[in-house]
Structure 1
Amino acid sequence: MITSPQAGPSTGRRRAGARTLLCWVTVAPGLAWAALRLAGLERGPLVQAIAFTPYVAAWTLGPLLLALALRRWAAAVVAAVVAAALVGVVAPRALPGGQPAAHGPRLRVASANLLAGAADARTLVDLVRGRRVDVLAVQEFTPEAAAELDRLGLAALLPHRQLNPQVGTVGSGLYARFPIAGGGIRQNRGGWGFTQAYGTVTPPGAPPVRIESVHPAAPYALDQIGPWRTDLAAQPPATPQAGLSILAGDFNATLDHAPLRALLATGYVDAADAVGAGLTGTWGPYDGDPIPPVAIDHVLADRRIAVESVAVRPVPGSDHRALLAELRLPAA
């Protein structure tokens, strides 16, 4: 058989072109994701997607290794930049950071989304008792949940409270070991109108601390993106030149969402991020849904407050895990 002398080189060029195309096709999604994340441009359905940035950051190492293996150097350079950008914003959450010099008393703050009151009340009361919680913030708080928590002993453990139990998902509550001053209920304007209980506690030896149980709208549908942004923008900013503030609750946002980063920039620190636990999931598969875990529950503390530890605990009946932060306050 007579073969064209051009068949071999031509086939080689086609294969080389296919390999180059494969590399760029695998690099392109990460490049687009990095641009959106770094510029804070998440919009529409991308708001939900951006919550999974830690998984995408890990995935970007694949295109880099592929480009290196195939010796596609231009694609490898771009893949390396993409991987460095995304890993660079995600990896620090697994590393403890510096802490302010706070020498006042400890304050143990816990938060739990009760999934319209379906969460197991005994588990929550046992957590408060076993971990000596000083302040408990609850969301999706119902009259039935309030009654059951007290029946199981929460009233004796945290006798001071600012509560707004409501049927469904809009209720909010704040329980404390110390008296609550200036307490009230704030209603978010967006979405379902979730409420937020707040008040000020003054542990012995510490200055007053304002604490709010946070629950902005969830960006679960396109028509809820606007309310979600509105609610997050309306969260109380930190007051670095005035009193101490702590926000604890279900923020329906991760550290990869621009509105939450804007709130942090007012003078808060994310407690989990501060101690290297910022990649620990708090919402996702815990009620059986096949959703990769993401961290949308947070304790945001004034940057003058030191974070000593953060832990998450399962709460049967809820799609969230309870979040517990042990803080060290400045001295009075």
Structure 2
Amino acid sequence: MITMPDRARVAARGGRWATVACWLAGAPLAAWALVRLTGWERGPLVLAIAFTPYVAAVAPAVAVTALALRRRAPAVVAAVAALALIGAVAPRALPGDRPPADGPTLRLLTANLRLGSADAAALVDLIRARRVDVLTVQELTPALAAGLDRLGLATLLPHRSLSPEVGATGSGVYARHPLRDGGHRRNQGFFFTQAYATVKVPGAPPLRVESAHPAAPYAVDVVPDWWTDQRAQPHATPHGGLSVLAGDFNATLDHAALRDLIATGYTDAADAAGAGFAGTWGPCDGDPLPPVAIDHVLVDRRIAARSAGTFPVPGSDHRALLATLRLPAG
């Protein structure tokens, strides 16, 4: 027979375990929010912080559960963390203010071609169907570049600045309009190249476009390379010429390095168009990962982002990202 003192001891033990469970759920949320808000992401935190939107989605449930269990202190901690995380990510679903750009419309597509294994026909069909004006590509190989031209890219986007290489290091910029000052630079992390050129769009000022591809932080020991490449990305020139940086950044808007780059005078086109949650990498090739947005089109703040969307590219582990932009007149 269980006596009243025995029941009290069991209840006390159950209460302690409930308290411990609430803290075990709430404390990591608080730590995550602190890292996200301060930008203190180092080592394995660089990989983890990419999944902040999913943590933000779970955080309110933790707060509500702790409150239902009458564990007020962990409930308050979880609620504050939830508010901080939701405040950081929620604006991506809302269109932002647009600058008064009144020049021509430009449709820019960026795509990681995964070691040149992307389906060339599907990519050309996408470019034709979406009337793409500028294409930036990463992991462009000589064989794929030749295949794209055979399938009609040479006619659709005849102007180009290419750096095709075997493996993952190649890149390219293709355009419907004439290019000048083309070339490429090589990152120091994984030695990915970043092709660039200036596009002369009729009715707009010259527009410098670069295909971005910093190192991927796939393991802790390569995070320093990731930081090196992120810091080497070209800053915006708000008091100079127009520029666009588009490609596989291997970073999300929750990474301080990318936010610092944007703060130099860029706007993330998908974020500005209210499509900032659209994942571009993760489960695209069967990996058991939730999708995250690591491909971006960063535009000069004088350029208006009208819309953005993602499209599958068979053979690639990324989805292509298309941004429709309104350029200033010039």
Q: Give the structure-2-normalised TM-score.
A: 0.97
Q: Which amino acid aligns with 1:115?
A: R
Paired residue for 2:80? 81
How do 1:128-143 residues align onto structure 2 when only pairs under 5 Å count?
128-143=127-142
Q: Report whether the alignment pairs 1:48 with 2:65.
A: no
Report how far residue 59 of structure 1 moved.
Answer: 1.2
1:126-165 correspondence runs (5 A): 126-165=125-164
Deviations 1:179-235 (A, max 9, x none): 111111110111x20000001112111011100000011111222111111111111
Residue 269 of structure 1 is aligned with which of 267, 274, 277? 267
Q: RMSD between aligned alpha carbons?
A: 1.2
The residue number in structure 2 matching 1:183 is 182
Secondary structure of residue in 2 paired with 1:109: strand
CA contact (8 A) 2:27 2:74 kept: no
The 3 A distance-change label for structure 1 pair 128 and 21 is same
Q: Give the CA deviation at 1:303.
A: 0.7
Call closer, same or farther: CA 1:107–1:2 in 2, change over 3 Å: closer
Task: Show the counterpart of 1:125.
Answer: 124
Query: Structure 1 residue runs of 4+, over 4 Å off?
Result: none
Q: Quick one: distance in 1 between partners of 2:52 and 2:116?
A: 30
Partner SS, residue 153 of structure 1: helix
In structure 1, how many angstroms separate the alpha carbons of the residues matched to 2:188 and 2:16? 54
Structure 2 residue ranges without an equivalent (≥5): none
> What's 1:194 paired with?
192
Corresponding residue number in structure 2 for 1:253: 251
Which residue of structure 1 lines up, in the alignment, with residue 325 of structure 2? Answer: 327
Following the alignment from structure 1 to structure 2, what is the Cα–Cα distance between the partners of residues 286 and 7?
Answer: 55
TM-score by length of 1: 0.97
Q: Which moved more, 1:166-175 or 1:40-49?
A: 40-49
Structure 1 Cα separation of the partners of residues 169 and 219 of structure 2 = 18
Provide the aligned length of Structure 1 versus Structure 2.
Answer: 330
**Residue aligning to 2:106:** 107
Structure 2 letter corresponding to 1:311: G
Q: 2:99 & 2:246 partners in 1: Cα distance?
A: 20
For structure 1, list consecutive stretches of 5 or more residues without a partner in the other structure.
none
CA distance in 1, matches of 2:266, 2:234: 11
Percentage of pairs with the same residue: 66
d(CA) in 2 for partners of 1:313 and 1:74? 45
Query: 1:254-311: per-residue Cα shift (whole Å, max 9, x none)?
Result: 0011110100000101011011110110001111111110000000001110011101
Distance, in Å, in 2 between the alignment partners of 1:85 and 1:154 is 46
The one-letter amino acid paired with 2:120 is A
Alpha-carbon distance in 2 for matches of 1:296, 1:76: 32
